[in-house]
């Protein structure tokens, strides 16, 4: 056998260097080949993000500003994300678009979001694949991601949810249970992993969710619990424990699905539903939803404005609408949306000159970037000329 017939890892170092593969390259290649599911998931996340950027650039008026700020947020790309499969909660409730709980885990809302999640995915995914194999790595990520999305929907924590973090938390939860309770092969494979470090890492991530508003805390916890149950089923010997873990996972999913279908008890449910109705032109249903939400949170300025705007669109209850929006403006006097609502109410009531003053101020506050305000300005100005 000549050197050309030897596998890469057995070739002399000088020949490997001639082929462009140094020792570190060989180790990296071996690690990548050993974790194909993790690599594919990372690739899907990156590809999905690039597709989101590309699609959003073609849809918005100021793509350069969006690209500049995309490291922290994809400003103005909500519709693009929704079109690609983000978990927009109103689509679950109104359209039954449950497929979104599958696709949302591969989408991300910024470069920072993507980088943090892909790095974390590599850290935990490599361990999961080496411990339980490729198929189970895919299973734990997918099930944990879906459980996290369902938990976010059940908790109604944001109108739209994206990100791989629920799947990552599930992988980490499985590893933690496997490291602490695993016996036999699982225990041996995870013995180099520090249970203390992993536990602290999980505790920090969960703790941050209570203070950082943009973190989907319910999604993280849903994924963590689902992954932990899978780790229990795969790590502890004995059919009773394995069966109990699988039954627990089934109960968890059943509960989350039931809670996510119509979570009327959650504070934001009627608010998000109202905005969805407004977007669909179902103004009367939007007003009813906003009124229910306002009953629960009567001092919420955004809700007061939403109810007022709904009545303004309908052209009814304009006196009450004015009282509501003026109350909102006492809290946030420079809010362009609230100022626009007041101006639109005045225009709808026939007080076009006074209405134009307010809408022009709203246009100045928003720097002319809000299409709806500019449309109101044009419509009210046309009415004033008659």
Residues 55 and 78 both lie in one domain: yes
Residues 67 and 197 both lie in one domain: yes
- Supply the range of the domain harboring residue 29: 3-33
Q: What is the pTM for the complete model shown?
A: 0.84
Domain count, the chain: 3
What is the domain-level CATH number for residue 131? Answer: 1.20.1540.10
Residues 206 and 329 both lie in one domain: no
Residues 334 and 214 both lie in one domain: no
Residues 333 and 222 both lie in one domain: no
Residues 28 and 39 both lie in one domain: no
Mean pLDDT of residues grouped by 10 in the chain (386 residues)?
36 37 61 93 98 93 87 92 96 95 96 96 95 97 98 94 97 96 91 92 91 88 97 90 94 96 88 92 90 90 92 89 94 94 92 92 90 91 81
Residues 98 and 130 both lie in one domain: yes
Q: What pLDDT does 45 receive?
A: 98
Residues 332 and 369 both lie in one domain: yes
Residues 255 and 239 both lie in one domain: yes
Q: Given 214, 240, 261, which residue is the final one in a domain?
A: 261
Q: What pLDDT does 12 receive?
A: 34
What is the domain-level CATH number for residue 332? Answer: 1.25.40.10
Residues 15 and 66 both lie in one domain: no
Q: What pLDDT does 25 receive?
A: 55
Q: Which of 373, 372, 315, 369 is nearest to 346 (CA)?
A: 315
Residues 242 and 328 both lie in one domain: no
Contacts of 226 (CB under 8 A, 6+ apart): 143, 144, 147, 148, 170, 173, 249, 252, 253
Q: Given 226, 261, 296, which residue is the final one in a domain?
A: 261
């Amino acid at each position: 056998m000549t050197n050309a017939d030897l596998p890469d890892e057995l070739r002399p170092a000088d020949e490997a260097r001639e082929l462009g593969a140094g020792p570190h390259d060989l180790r990296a290649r071996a690690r990548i080949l050993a974790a194909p599911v993790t690599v594919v998931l990372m690739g899907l996340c990156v590809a999905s993000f690039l597709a989101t950027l590309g699609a959003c650039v073609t849809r918005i008026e100021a793509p350069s500003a969006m690209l500049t700020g995309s490291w922290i947020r994809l400003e103005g790309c909500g519709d693009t994300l929704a079109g690609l499969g983000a978990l927009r909660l109103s689509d679950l409730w109104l359209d039954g678009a449950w497929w979104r709980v599958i696709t949302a885990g591969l989408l991300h809302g910024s470069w920072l979001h993507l980088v943090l999640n892909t790095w974390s995915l590599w850290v935990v995914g490599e361990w999961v694949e080496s411990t339980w194999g490729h198929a189970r790595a895919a299973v734990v990520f997918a099930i944990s991601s879906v459980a996290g999305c369902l938990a976010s929907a059940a908790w109604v924590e944001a109108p739209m949810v994206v990100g791989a973090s629920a799947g990552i938390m599930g992988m980490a939860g499985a590893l933690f249970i496997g490291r602490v309770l695993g016996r036999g092969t699982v225990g041996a494979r995870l013995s180099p992993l520090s249970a203390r470090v992993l536990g602290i890492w999980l505790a920090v991530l969960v703790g941050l969710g209570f203070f950082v508003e943009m973190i989907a805390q319910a999604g993280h916890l849903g994924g963590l619990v689902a992954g932990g149950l899978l780790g229990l089923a795969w790590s502890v010997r004995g059919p009773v424990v394995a069966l109990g873990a699988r039954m627990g996972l089934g109960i968890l999913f059943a509960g989350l699905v039931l809670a996510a279908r119509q979570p009327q008890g959650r504070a934001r449910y009627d608010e998000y539903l109202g905005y969805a109705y407004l977007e669909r032109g179902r103004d009367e249903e939007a007003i009813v939803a906003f009124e229910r939400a306002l009953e629960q949170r009567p001092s919420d300025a955004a809700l007061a404005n939403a109810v007022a705007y709904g009545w303004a669109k309908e052209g009814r209850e304009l006196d009450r609408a004015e009282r509501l929006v003026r109350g909102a403006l006492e809290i946030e006097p420079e809010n362009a949306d609230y100022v626009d609502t007041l101006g639109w109410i005045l225009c709808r009531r026939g007080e076009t000159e006074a209405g134009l003053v307010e809408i022009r101020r709203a246009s100045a506050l928003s720097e002319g970037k809000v299409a709806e305000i500019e449309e109101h300005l044009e419509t009210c100005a046309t009415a004033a000329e008659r």
